[in-house]
Structure 1
Amino acid sequence: MADTTIYDMEQRGEFPQRFYLTPRCVVWDLAEVEAWLEERRRASRAKTVKRAPMPDVQLRKTRPIKHPARA
């Protein structure tokens, strides 16, 4: 996950809180992160995780450009 995603989730109480080892080094408790992962695994298997919708490609303003193979 991106740093900003983790930070936002921490602020909402959805991810374990970081703590400082040194003034410039943050870490997370491994047991807390593993418990969070197991909770997410159970939620995923139970299909209770709200997934993002599939993008509607018809709403695109531009189309990707296919570049010819480079030799």
Structure 2
Amino acid sequence: MARVLTESELKVPGRVLIKRRQLLQKVPLCERTILNLEKRGQFPRRFTITSRLVAWDLKEVDAWIAEQQTAARLPGVPQAHPVPRRPSK
């Protein structure tokens, strides 16, 4: 699921990685929903920093948010990556 940063990726100037807490402040989804979206390729994939720490590329997350905003503004067009809803009981 998580990807490992390569040497060349570590050298990208200006790359900003955000941890889980920062991601959850930026994206108003629960951790489970984010994980499910990642598994389906509908959300930026996390990077493995250490065995206990993962992070996301801020530019990728911002691009995903912009994509969601653009899709929401188009009349009559469903969201690019709809979040599945659980059936109500």
Q: Structure 1-normalised TM-score?
A: 0.66
Aligned counterpart in structure 2 of residue 18 of structure 1, from 21, 46, 49: 46
RMSD, aligned α-carbons: 2.4
Q: Structure 2-normalised TM-score?
A: 0.53
Q: Which has the higher contact order (CA 8 A, sep 6+)?
A: 2
Deviation at 1:24, TM superposition (A): 0.6
- One-letter amino acid matched to 1:14: Q
Query: Where is the strand percentage greater, Structure 1 or Structure 2?
Result: 2
After superposing on structure 2, the runs of 4+ consecutive aligned residues of structure 1 that deviate more than 3 Å are: 50-53
Q: Give the count of matched residue pairs.
A: 55
Please list the CA deviations of residues 25-68 of structure 1 after superposition, one character each: whole Å capped at 9, or x if unmatched: 11100000000000000001114325889xx9xxx8xxxxxxxx
Name stretches of at least 5 consecutive residues in structure 1 with no aligned partner.
61-71
Name stretches of at least 5 consecutive residues in structure 2 with no aligned partner.
1-28
Larger-Rg structure: 1
Aligned counterpart in structure 2 of residue 43 of structure 1, from 63, 71, 79: 71
Which residue of structure 1 aligns with residue 37 of structure 2?
A: 9
